[in-house]
């Protein structure tokens, strides 16, 4: 399917401060609204955006429609659906689904919104903002919620990427405990091996008490991970004092390997 370009592409973008995102065209705005219904609020959809649509994108008809909705004190979903319908960017079913999302259950919404914001920031490599949103999302739901698996994984990746391996291992452990996934267990052990002393590592492994069936499934992976981690970390620690640039490069390679091992589907 193709879409007709509408309006002008401006050199003065609309800046979405909470997301650190610039929007230069109506098509970019449509794409953003369709894909991020969970994170929309009055900080994004407001009179400033309406004026941007009218003046910078040169869409006076749409601007007038939005201002009329504002005059009638309509809600967020009305603004978003009016913009999407004007661009013919979604079909009726998709439009109603987006409306339902925006008008969704307020008891569930805080977690969904926080996680969606975190995912958006993580995908756009704004890891400081992603970590903040993910930590807030964790506080908004029960610790047994399996939607947290990807949250814990991404937090583990964020901290590993900052070479904070002890903190990273704590989140990878939570990922493993919730998912009971062998790859998650391997990630946890490898990062733990990097982040703590040998005695702490051995003590922590002794305290690790997974379900017997899960442990049997993961036993081979644990032994393999310990061997791999030991060899990798030994080489990494030698580089730390001999070749700082090489140390950082090797650490980044290990982080990339951890990322590539991630196979959990949420």
pLDDT in tens, 205-220: 777 765 555 445 545 6
Is residue 155 a contact partner of residue 131, using CB atoms and an 8 Å limit? yes
pLDDT of residue 232: 56
Is residue 111 a contact partner of residue 137, using CB atoms and an 8 Å limit? yes
pLDDT in tens, 112-136: 888 988 998 898 888 888 999 999 9
pLDDT of residue 11: 86
Radius of gyration of the chain (CA): 23
pLDDT of residue 179: 92
End-to-end CA distance of the chain: 29
DSSP string for 5-21? --SPPPSSPEEEGGGTE
Would the pLDDT of 95 be above 80? yes
Other beta carbons within 10 angstroms of residue 77's beta carbon come to 19
pLDDT in tens, 130-173: 999 999 999 988 888 899 999 999 999 999 888 898 999 999 99
pLDDT of residue 252: 62
Give SS3 for 22.
strand
Give SS3 for 16.
strand
pLDDT of residue 212: 54
pLDDT of residue 213: 57
Distance, in Å, from the CA atom of 152 to the CA atom of 145, rounded to the nearest integer, reads 11
Domain ranges of the chain: 14-102, 142-261
pLDDT of residue 63: 96
pLDDT in tens, 36-88: 888 888 888 999 999 999 999 999 999 999 999 999 999 899 999 999 999 99
Is residue 233 a contact partner of residue 165, using CB atoms and an 8 Å limit? no
pLDDT of residue 30: 93
Q: What does pLDDT average to over the chain?
A: 80
Distance, in Å, from the CA atom of 264 to the CA atom of 7, rounded to the nearest integer, reads 41
As to burial, measured by CB atoms within 10 angstroms (0-12 exposed, 13-18 middle, 19+ buried), residue 204 is middle
Question: How far is the CA of 65 from the CAs of 15, 49, 59, 60, 102, in angstroms?
Answer: 22, 13, 10, 9, 20
Other beta carbons within 10 angstroms of residue 108's beta carbon come to 11
Would the pLDDT of 198 be above 70? yes
Other beta carbons within 10 angstroms of residue 224's beta carbon come to 12
DSSP conformational letter for 90: S
Stronger pLDDT, 210 or 189, i.e. the higher one: 189
Would the pLDDT of 29 be above 90? yes
pLDDT in tens, 203-259: 777 777 655 554 455 456 556 655 655 555 555 555 555 555 565 565 666 666 665
**pTM for the full predicted model:** 0.63
Distance, in Å, from the CA atom of 10 to the CA atom of 68, rounded to the nearest integer, reads 24
């Amino acid at each position: 399917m193709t879409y007709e370009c509408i309006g002008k592409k401006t050199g003065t973008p609309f800046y979405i401060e909470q997301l650190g995102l610039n929007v230069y065209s109506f098509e970019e705005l449509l794409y953003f609204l369709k894909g991020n219904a969970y994170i929309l609020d009055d900080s994004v959809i407001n009179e400033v955006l309406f004026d941007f649509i009218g003046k910078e994108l040169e869409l006076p008809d749409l601007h007038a429609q939005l201002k009329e909705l504002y005059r009638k004190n309509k809600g967020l979903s009305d603004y978003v659906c009016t913009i999407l319908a004007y661009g013919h960017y979604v079909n009726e079913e998709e439009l109603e689904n987006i409306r339902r999302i925006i008008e969704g259950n307020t008891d569930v919404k805080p977690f969904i919104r926080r996680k969606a914001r975190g995912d958006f920031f993580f995908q756009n490599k704004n890891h400081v903002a992603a970590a903040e949103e993910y930590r807030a999302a964790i506080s908004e739901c029960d610790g047994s919620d399996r939607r947290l698996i990807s949250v814990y994984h991404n937090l583990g990746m964020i901290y590993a990427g900052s070479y904070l391996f002890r903190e990273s291992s704590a989140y990878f452990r939570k990922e493993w405990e919730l998912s009971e996934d062998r790859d998650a267990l391997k990630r946890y052990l490898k990062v733990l091996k990097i982040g703590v002393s040998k005695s702490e590592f051995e003590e922590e492994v002794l305290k690790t008490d997974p379900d017997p069936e899960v442990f049997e499934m993961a036993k081979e992976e644990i032994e393999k991970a310990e061997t791999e981690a030991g060899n990798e970390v030994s080489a990494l620690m030698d580089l730390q004092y001999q070749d700082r640039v090489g140390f950082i490069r090797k650490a980044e390679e290990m982080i990339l390997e951890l990322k590539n091992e991630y196979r959990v589907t949420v």
